[in-house]
Amino acid sequence: MKNIEKEINDLRTTLRYHSDRYYNDDAPEIEDYEYDMMMRRLKELEEKYPEFDTPDSPTKRVGGKADNTFESVTHTVRMESLQDAFSKEEIFDFARRVNDSVSDVHYVVEPKIDGLSVSLEYVDGVFYRGSTRGDGDVGEDVSGNLRVIRNVPLKLKKSLPYIEVRGEVYMPKKSFDKVVDRQLINGEKPFKNPRNAAAGSLRQKDSEVTAGRGLDIFIFNIQQIEGEALTSHKQSLDYLKELGFNTVPYYERVDTIEQAFSKVEQIGEMRGELEFDIDGAVIKVDDFSDRELLGSTAKYPKWAVAFKYPPEEKQTRIVDIEITVGRTGKLTPTAVLEPVHLAGTTVSRATLHNQDFIVQKGVNIGDIITVRKAGDIIPEVLCVNEKHSEGCFVYPTHCPSCNQTLVSEEGEVDIRCINPECPAQLLRNLIHFCSRDAMDIEGLGPSIIETFVENGMIKDISDIYHLNAQDISSLDGFQTTSANNIISSVEKSKNNDLGKLIFAFGIRHIGAKAAKLLSDYFKNIDAVMNAEVDDILKIDGFGDVMAKAVYDYFHSQGAVELVSELKTIGVNTQSKTVIKDNRFEGKTFVLTGTLPTLKRSEASKIIESFGGKTSSSVSKKTDFVLSGEASGSKLDKANALGITVIDENEFLEMIK
Q: Which positions are annotated as active-site residues? A: 112
Q: Is 462 left (phi over 0), alpha (psi -120 to 50) or beta?
A: alpha
106 alpha carbon, distance to own chain's centre: 39
3-state DSSP helix/strand/coil % of the chain, to nearest 5: 40, 20, 40
Q: Using alpha carbons only, give the angle 336, 341, 347 rounded to the nearest 5 degrees.
A: 30
CA atoms within 13 A on the CB side of 250: 20
Q: How many residues does the chain have?
A: 656
Closest by CA position to 503, among listed 572, 406, 438, 600: 438
CA distance 304 to 169: 21
- CB contact set of 211 (below 8 Å; sequence gap of 6+): 148
Calpha distance 236→228 (Å, rounded): 10
- List the Cα angle 183/193/357 in 5-degree steps: 85
For residue 490, what is the enclosing H or E element? Answer: helix 480-493
The residue type at 564:
S
| Cα-based angle 573, 577, 581 (whole degrees, multiple of 5) | 150
Distance CA(65)–CA(343), nearest Å, equals 32
Residue 481 near residue 489, CB atoms below 8 Å: no
314 and 340 in contact (C-beta within 8 Å)?
yes
Q: Which long-range contacts link 288-295 to residues 24+ away (Cβ below 8 Å)? A: 288/230, 288/231, 288/232, 288/233, 289/231, 290/98, 290/102, 290/105, 293/101, 293/102, 294/98, 294/101, 294/102
Residue 2: alpha-carbon gap to chain centroid: 41
